[in-house]
Amino acid sequence: MAKKLHNRARKAGMAPGTLLYTGTKKDQVPQIHVITYDKDNIHETSGTQLDQCLPPEKPAGTVWVNIDGLTDTKLIGQLGARFGLHPLVLEDILDVNQRSKVDEFSGYVYIVLKKIIWNETRKTFGVEQVSIIFGDGFLLSFQEQQSTLFAAIHQRLQNNQSRLREHGSDFLAYTLVDVLVDQYFIVLEKIGERIAKVEDLIISDPVQHNARLLYRLKRQMLMFRKTIWPLREAVSHMLRVDGNLLTPFTGLYLRDVYDHTVQVIDTAETYRDMLSGMLDIYVSTLTNRLNEVMKVLTVIATIFIPLTFIASLYGMNFVNMPELHWRYGYPAVLSLMLVIAIVMLIYFRRKDWL
Amino acid sequence: MAKKLHNRARKAGMAPGTLLYTGTKKDQVPQIHVITYDKDNIHETSGTQLDQCLPPEKPAGTVWVNIDGLTDTKLIGQLGARFGLHPLVLEDILDVNQRSKVDEFSGYVYIVLKKIIWNETRKTFGVEQVSIIFGDGFLLSFQEQQSTLFAAIHQRLQNNQSRLREHGSDFLAYTLVDVLVDQYFIVLEKIGERIAKVEDLIISDPVQHNARLLYRLKRQMLMFRKTIWPLREAVSHMLRVDGNLLTPFTGLYLRDVYDHTVQVIDTAETYRDMLSGMLDIYVSTLTNRLNEVMKVLTVIATIFIPLTFIASLYGMNFVNMPELHWRYGYPAVLSLMLVIAIVMLIYFRRKDWL
Amino acid sequence: MAKKLHNRARKAGMAPGTLLYTGTKKDQVPQIHVITYDKDNIHETSGTQLDQCLPPEKPAGTVWVNIDGLTDTKLIGQLGARFGLHPLVLEDILDVNQRSKVDEFSGYVYIVLKKIIWNETRKTFGVEQVSIIFGDGFLLSFQEQQSTLFAAIHQRLQNNQSRLREHGSDFLAYTLVDVLVDQYFIVLEKIGERIAKVEDLIISDPVQHNARLLYRLKRQMLMFRKTIWPLREAVSHMLRVDGNLLTPFTGLYLRDVYDHTVQVIDTAETYRDMLSGMLDIYVSTLTNRLNEVMKVLTVIATIFIPLTFIASLYGMNFVNMPELHWRYGYPAVLSLMLVIAIVMLIYFRRKDWL
Amino acid sequence: MAKKLHNRARKAGMAPGTLLYTGTKKDQVPQIHVITYDKDNIHETSGTQLDQCLPPEKPAGTVWVNIDGLTDTKLIGQLGARFGLHPLVLEDILDVNQRSKVDEFSGYVYIVLKKIIWNETRKTFGVEQVSIIFGDGFLLSFQEQQSTLFAAIHQRLQNNQSRLREHGSDFLAYTLVDVLVDQYFIVLEKIGERIAKVEDLIISDPVQHNARLLYRLKRQMLMFRKTIWPLREAVSHMLRVDGNLLTPFTGLYLRDVYDHTVQVIDTAETYRDMLSGMLDIYVSTLTNRLNEVMKVLTVIATIFIPLTFIASLYGMNFVNMPELHWRYGYPAVLSLMLVIAIVMLIYFRRKDWL
Amino acid sequence: MAKKLHNRARKAGMAPGTLLYTGTKKDQVPQIHVITYDKDNIHETSGTQLDQCLPPEKPAGTVWVNIDGLTDTKLIGQLGARFGLHPLVLEDILDVNQRSKVDEFSGYVYIVLKKIIWNETRKTFGVEQVSIIFGDGFLLSFQEQQSTLFAAIHQRLQNNQSRLREHGSDFLAYTLVDVLVDQYFIVLEKIGERIAKVEDLIISDPVQHNARLLYRLKRQMLMFRKTIWPLREAVSHMLRVDGNLLTPFTGLYLRDVYDHTVQVIDTAETYRDMLSGMLDIYVSTLTNRLNEVMKVLTVIATIFIPLTFIASLYGMNFVNMPELHWRYGYPAVLSLMLVIAIVMLIYFRRKDWL
């Protein structure tokens, strides 16, 4: 997070509308992928130059331009000019610290979402920004780096029975959002598994190491929550977008996505509550162990310290100590010690310390 | 929870509208139960095939189709086609991770609720999804497995004096919702009993085992809360459903259900607050016990350590130790020890440690 | 609470509108008390049968029917029939687990409130449900058992100069609500006194017993809060009741009751915050005491353990220990011990442990 | 607080509109102070009887009647009759447990505010109720006891260039409210100074005494917060008062007071958060100290207990202990002890305990 | 903060509209800087007297008057008269304890914002108030002391291709707000770096010093939060300002600033949650260490105390102790001791204390 904030802070003082990529994937060469489709035909091109891929005049049907990699600010500028985008939209596409949001402009809708991908080796998730712009007959999508996430949608588009082919760019936009929100369930599942694991560890073996695991998990949830929290508002805003850009047909599907986002947020909140309950149990277990340790020390010390005192007493070298000369002095002292020890043991047993 | 999330995560990437059962009751063979009734007549059939049970054309009166078991996605599809349901509704019926909600469609209302059943042997509750769809003259209900929950309603329907027979599918829908919400009171009562029990244990015997009981209870409440929380919004949404589908007569009854849901949520919140108060008392009891243990140790050690030192002193083997040869050296030392012990005891008594 | 929930749970599965008393005052024989009054006349009757007390046709002026005891469900049914009440209202009158609420029906308003009475011997409060129904020219009130709470209102009614006599059933309803809300101040005062007492105990003598007192007080506040919380909404709802049933004259008075409820809730919240501050101070006092105990132990042990070691050293029986034979060996060792003790004492004084 | 609640509780059961002073300043003889002013003239009278001070017919310009002392309920009644006030307003003037509020009546506005005055000797603040009623051409103000708070306003009124003289009773009301809210800043400053002082104490010397200071400060903030919290709503309500009673000119000034109240509440919330942060640091300091104490004990005990054991070993009186007769037995044992002590010291240094 | 509150409290009792600077930068001589620009021309003057810098009649285009230093209340008064500002606006410009806010007046908009500048040497941030007033053809900005913050805007203005030159005072106002909000990201980045550092310290070395660092950071976040929190409302208010003063063109840019403020608040909240998570881990680490210390003490004491007792036993001087004369008495006792020590070690290993 610090790194991204650093890039964001670097932007301070620049004129608004200055195009500057604030992310960390700086060596991704932008890949352009253009699909033009309607109910009957579909056509795909890809490359790194815009004019290679995009025909000069607007084709019939829907054009989907997907850009992987945001390092080429000139390319973003060209696209902006081509589709009449506001300079601030271009700036926001490149500023990957945006919160998820939906902004309506005249003629198009701008959607910022977060792609959350689980990284199995580092046991954490990565966050990338995805921008989606859709208007009448076109959809532009921007990702920070290449991924296979939209591959399934490409395939579905190939199938000319697919609902995607029958509906316009708003339905395609919905599909992309749906795919991104579905990823959140996968990440939540992974986090949920880790929580269950740490829960077992915390209860069975409350060592410092596990407290740190817990803390890291908590931080992870904090980040996850911060990332997904604005989503509800964004999708709810999208539901209220003006009817020319969003058909009622797509609206029904979006309502479904909205339900999913609420479900994700709900589960995240429950995880957060579980984690704070786990900290409580961890701390109480620590105190319990301390009690147990202290009881052992106290029992041992309390039994043997008086006995040692008595032994020391008869180890004194006074000339005039009559007991030392009694015939049964030694067994008497031993018996006394035994009685003291037994009384102590009974006392501790009564107190439930043994 | 993890298991259901897993099934949900499996769905990620599939096209919307794909029918996939995400629950765990996978070996339940779907049972179909159809009741057709109006004020004067009632007719029941049941089976496992839709066309066996449901006459091809819509009968007069109200048709109630109840499905127990969601493993046969084809059956769900047939029902959807028959009653003109939206593909997303069919998907949601099968995705049992939905939050409780009420969605209005043209011609019907879709209700998702949770059936919460107390399991006495495992001392916890199970959550299942119930979907209810009602429209003009029909009601469809879907449960994950067979249960006796709706049996009482069947009986009431048999009675032709019953209010159920006089009113349409919206009143039947209300009745089903009412039965489900009533279950929450039963589960709350069980949890309340367990809380009272753990409360006694925590206060009388604050051992680690009880802290874990407390933690498990807390988790249970967390799950219960997560399950019932969306209910308020769902029922309140149902109250605002368009007048053609919901008569004012049923509306009054629904307002009653709404009061019940608020009551359930209230009680659940109070339980949550009680549980967190119990943790506080548990931790303070632990610290109290630690204090008590340490006082015993300190009293014993502080009395005997100086005495043992004095005894050791006169156990030294210096040739030239005049006290050893005094006539009353031994009794003098014993008296000194007694004085020290008494002073210490008075000191501790003053400090209220004894 | 558990007991009432139990009775509530017993109702689950019954048809809505089933009349079942869910409270615990099961041996109260219902007492009926009817007062008919207008500006000039007043007439009282009482008994246990409805037809004894209530004239068959509606008299001029205002009729106030007060029922003490809810065990006779038939009586409730008769009243319902007589005044045209909805079956759900009758059910709610008998289900004493309702939250406080105000429901408008055509022709009458149904108010559920809680009577909170301080029990001085058990040092806690009891909660009972009071139902009030008022419409044009009549007011029905239902209590779980006989009480003297409404006696003052009877007396005021006798006085034909009283504002009560000049105004209709809505003003009588306001007066009943006002009397009930006034009781909350009395209970709050009692709880406030107990909090002040426990606060003194906690600070002066933080033993386990006091922590439990604190916990019980906290639970009490939780119950009080749960009971009064819905009141604000209920009274605010009452303020918005349709003008035919509630005159603007009474509205002004109700606004005053609304202010009182907010004041009660405010004070209850402050008490809650005070109680949680008291727990903090209690736990920190415990830790402080532990520190003090440990300091005593550490000072004593740290001074005498090295001294005892030295004494033991010269208690060894080695043949060849030259110091033992030195002339000033014994005084030298004693001096060494003194020096060590003094150094230790200075060290502890520096650390502020003495 | 308990005392005031007691007086409030005493009122329970009385008829609404009963005039009863619920405060504690019972020996203040009410002082009446009347100022009649317009742009050109100003006239002052004062006394203890209403007819002495107030001319029988309404004078031109604005009349300000200020009452210091609420013990004479008859006087309040006379004023009420004279200015046509609602009985509930009179009751509220005397019931000094009101929350701050603004109520609109036909022809006048009733404002309840709290005067918070810092008491330097008792290091706390006192709360008194101030009631302000303003209508066309008159303003009544009621304080529980005489104070110099409004003296500055008297002086400003004498100056015929003052804005006060040009504007009506609403601007005078604004000025009174402004003076009261300004007092809150003074009290906040005092509390802020005390918080800074306790913060220093807590960090430098976390003894029990300081924890109690902290707790008292917390309670003080709780009371302050409870007192000022309703202010925001009250002033915001005043801003929406009907235009005949409140001119837009005064409205602009009131918006300024509103900003001040929000600022006061903001600062109070920040103080509250600081206090709870201070408790955390206090408790963690205590635990830290405990750690330090225990480390000293452990180091000393762990070094000397084994050494003492060895010394005791060779203090045994077995006849057959060859080591005792070895020539270098004694130095060998001393060396062994030295080695053990050094090893222990190195171990503790490694653990950073020394 | 205390200092500023002190200055604020000094104002209490003064007539509203009294001009008094409540800040701490009292030796800054006010600098006036006037820029007059339109699309084609730009003209700059600066000085310390208003009439030197500002031409007597309103020039064409936009006039930007920037004042650095608020000590000359007369100057503020002159500006107020010149641009027709309300007396309360002038008072608020000088009272630097205002919350961020946007107030609409007829003919102009008054914006209060906070300039937050990171101070690298003191590792904290300073807060200053910036007031911006814009109306048709003019913008006034007031800062407490000179800074280079607006220098970049001066430069951009020089460039006659700049969007600033094409648009009016509302766009200039937006630009100033944008520059101020951008500063918050810089401060957040610095705080974020410090949090990361303290996080490392807390986990690796939980000493008291680090707890205080944490506390100071927490206090810093509290202040930061208090400062930025009102910003969201202020900017959102600005978005709703009447269309004559704020063009839709500028509105789009402001929406962008709004997104940034929400982002800043979001990040600040996340930091706050991280800090409270860090306190938890700190306290649990302390308890863990205490456990570790106590285990060492207990293991050592529990092993050696019984052994020392046995040794003391055979150090007693009873005449009649047969064991002392046994041939293998000494080795037998040594073996017994060894067995006891080994048993203890096994016991502790089993308990996982070693």
B179 at interface of C, judged by CB pairs closer than 8 A: yes
Q: Report the mean per-residue pLDDT for chain A.
A: 88
Measure in Å the smallest separation between the Cα of D151 and chain C Cα atoms: 31
Give chain B positions within 8 Å (CB) of C279: 280, 284
Would the CA dihedral through C149, C154, C157, C159 be positive or negative? Answer: negative
B347 at interface of A, judged by CB pairs closer than 8 A: no
pLDDT reported for residue B57: 79
Best of E316, E320, E326, E337 to disrupt the A interface (most A CBs within 10 Å) is E316
Residue A13 pLDDT grade (very low, low, confident, very high; cuts 50, 70, 90): low
List beta partners, residue B127: B116
Contacts of E312 (CB under 8 A, 6+ apart): A308, A311, A312, A315, D312, D315
- Say yes or no to pLDDT of C177 above 90: yes
Tell me if E329 and D312 make a contact (CB, 8 A cut-off): no
Give chain C positions within 8 Å (CB) of D287: 287
C300 at interface of B, judged by CB pairs closer than 8 A: yes
Nearest to D301 among C255, C305, C319 (CB): C305
List beta partners, residue B66: B33, B141
Best of A106, A286, A335 to disrupt the E interface (most E CBs within 10 Å) is A286
Q: Which range, of A12-26, A326-340, C215-229, D260-274, averages the lowest pLDDT?
A: A12-26
C208 at interface of B, judged by CB pairs closer than 8 A: yes
Q: Is D264 exposed, middle or buried (0-12, 13-18, 19+ CB in 10 A)?
A: buried
Q: Which helix (H) or strand (E) holds D254?
A: helix D248-313
pLDDT, tens digit, 9 for 90 and up, residues E9-24: 777 767 777 788 888 8
Measure in Å the smallest separation between the Cα of B141 and chain C Cα atoms: 18
Best of A284, A343, A347 to disrupt the B interface (most B CBs within 10 Å) is A284
List beta partners, residue D133: D110, D140
pLDDT more than 70, % of chain B: 98
Give chain D positions within 8 Å (CB) of E316: 317
Tokens 């687990």, residue located: C97
- Say yes or no to pLDDT of B208 above 90: no
Nearest to A281 among B99, B211, B329 (CB): B211
pLDDT, tens digit, 9 for 90 and up, residues E174-194: 999 999 999 999 999 999 999
CA E330, CA E319: separation in Å to the nearest integer? 17
- Say yes or no to pLDDT of B2 above 60: no
- Say yes or no to pLDDT of B3 above 70: no
Measure in Å the smallest separation between the Cα of C22 and chain D Cα atoms: 29
Backbone dihedral angles phi then psi of residue A109, each to the nearest 5 degrees: -120, 135
Angle, CA of B112, B113 and B116, to the nearest 5°: 155
- Say yes or no to pLDDT of A132 above 90: yes
Measure in Å the smallest separation between the Cα of C131 and chain D Cα atoms: 19
Tell me if B12 and A186 make a contact (CB, 8 A cut-off): yes
Give the nearest chain D residue to C291 (CA atoms): D290
Residue E128 pLDDT grade (very low, low, confident, very high; cuts 50, 70, 90): very high
pLDDT reported for residue C9: 73
C1 at interface of D, judged by CB pairs closer than 8 A: no
Q: Write out chain E in H/E/C secondary structure.
A: CHHHHHHHHHHCCCCCCCCCCCCCCCCCCCEEEEEEECCCCEEEEEECCHHHHCCCCCCCCEEEEEEECCCCHHHHHHHHHHHCCCHHHHHHHHCCCCCCEEEEECCEEEEEEEEEEEECCCCEEEEEEEEEEEECCEEEEEECCCCCCCHHHHHHHHCCCCHHHHCCHHHHHHHHHHHHHHHHHHHHHHHHHHHHHHHHHHHHCCCHHHHHHHHHHHHHHHHHHHHHHHHHHHHHHHHCCCCCCCCHHHHHHHHHHHHHHHHHHHHHHHHHHHHHHHHHHHHHHHHHHHHHHHHHHHHHHHHHHHHHHHHHHCCCCCCCCHHHHCCCHHHHHHHHHHHHHHHHHHHHHHCCCC
Measure in Å the smallest separation between the Cα of D165 and chain E Cα atoms: 13
Nearest to B222 among A196, A263, A273 (CB): A273
Give chain B positions within 8 Å (CB) of C1: 192, 267, 270
CA A316, CA B162: separation in Å to the nearest integer? 99
Tell me if A311 and E306 make a contact (CB, 8 A cut-off): no
Residue C164 pLDDT grade (very low, low, confident, very high; cuts 50, 70, 90): confident
Give the nearest chain D residue to E99 (CA atoms): D263
C3 at interface of B, judged by CB pairs closer than 8 A: no
Give the nearest chain D residue to E97 (CA atoms): D263
D175 at interface of E, judged by CB pairs closer than 8 A: yes
Give chain B positions within 8 Å (CB) of A321: 330
- Say yes or no to pLDDT of E203 above 90: no
> Tokens at residue E132, please?
């911006």
Tell me if E281 and A211 make a contact (CB, 8 A cut-off): yes
- Say yes or no to pLDDT of E49 above 70: yes
Comparing A203 with D70, the larger pLDDT belongs to D70
Chains with at least 3 CB pairs less than 8 angstroms from chain A: B, E
Tell me the residue type at A75. L
- Say yes or no to pLDDT of E3 above 70: no
Work out the average pLDDT over E110-135: 92
Give the nearest chain B residue to C105 (CA atoms): B252
Contacts of B134 (CB under 8 A, 6+ apart): B108, B109, B111, B140, B169, B170, B172, B173, B245
**How much is the pTM?**
0.86
Give chain E positions within 8 Å (CB) of A321: 317
Interface of C with B in 322-341 (CB under 8 A): 323-330, 333
Q: Are C176 and C141 in contact (CB under 8 A)?
A: yes
Best of B282, B318, B325, B354 to disrupt the C interface (most C CBs within 10 Å) is B318
Measure in Å the smallest separation between the Cα of C285 and chain D Cα atoms: 7
Residue C134 pLDDT grade (very low, low, confident, very high; cuts 50, 70, 90): very high
CA D264, CA E12: separation in Å to the nearest integer? 13
CA D260, CA D178: separation in Å to the nearest integer? 9
pLDDT, tens digit, 9 for 90 and up, residues C234-282: 999 999 887 788 998 999 899 999 999 999 999 999 999 999 889 888 8
Could you list the pLDDT tens digit for every one of the 354 residues in chain D? 556 666 677 777 677 777 888 888 888 888 999 999 988 889 999 888 888 888 877 778 899 999 999 988 899 999 999 999 998 999 999 998 889 999 999 889 999 999 998 988 888 899 999 999 999 999 999 999 888 888 888 888 888 888 888 898 999 999 999 999 999 999 999 999 999 999 888 877 777 778 888 888 999 999 999 999 999 999 999 998 877 889 989 998 999 999 999 999 999 999 999 998 898 888 888 888 888 888 999 999 999 999 999 999 999 888 888 888 888 888 899 999 999 999 999 999 998 887
Domains and CATH numbers, chain E: 2-284 (3.30.460.20), 293-350 (1.20.58.340)
pLDDT reported for residue C200: 87
Give chain B positions within 8 Å (CB) of C314: 316-318
Nearest to E302 among A86, A297, A326 (CB): A297
Q: Which range, of A80-94, A269-283, C16-30, E185-199, averages the lowest pLDDT?
A: C16-30
* Greatest mean pLDDT among A47-61, A168-182, C54-68: A168-182
- Say yes or no to pLDDT of E201 above 70: yes
Comparing B282 with D13, the larger pLDDT belongs to B282
Interface of A with E in 267-296 (CB under 8 A): 279, 282-283, 286-287, 289-290, 293-294, 296
- ipTM of predicted complex: 0.83
Residue C4 pLDDT grade (very low, low, confident, very high; cuts 50, 70, 90): low
Best of D110, D286, D354 to disrupt the C interface (most C CBs within 10 Å) is D286
Interface of E with A in 142-171 (CB under 8 A): 152, 156, 162-163
Chains with at least 3 CB pairs less than 8 angstroms from chain D: C, E
Tell me if C189 and D9 make a contact (CB, 8 A cut-off): yes
Work out the average pLDDT over A213-241: 91
Interface of D with E in 226-255 (CB under 8 A): 252-253, 255
pLDDT reported for residue A2: 54
Q: Is B344 exposed, middle or buried (0-12, 13-18, 19+ CB in 10 A)?
A: middle
Measure in Å the smallest separation between the Cα of B51 and chain C Cα atoms: 32
- Say yes or no to pLDDT of B285 above 70: yes
For chains C and D, CB pairs below 8 A equal 165
3-state percent helix, strand, coil for chain C, nearest multiple of 5:
60, 15, 25
Tell me if C288 and D1 make a contact (CB, 8 A cut-off): no
How many CA atoms, within 13 angstroms, populate the side-chain half-sphere of residue C326? Answer: 10
pLDDT reported for residue E13: 65
Q: Is B96 exposed, middle or buried (0-12, 13-18, 19+ CB in 10 A)?
A: buried
pLDDT reported for residue A27: 80
Q: Which range, of C29-33, E24-28, E110-114, E138-142, averages the lowest pLDDT?
A: E24-28
CA A93, CA A98: separation in Å to the nearest integer? 9
Best of C258, C298, C318, C348 to disrupt the D interface (most D CBs within 10 Å) is C318
Taking only Cα atoms into account, the Rg of chain A, rounded to an integer number of angstroms, comes to 35
Measure in Å the smallest separation between the Cα of A278 and chain B Cα atoms: 8
Give chain B positions within 8 Å (CB) of A281: 211-212, 215
- Say yes or no to pLDDT of E2 above 90: no
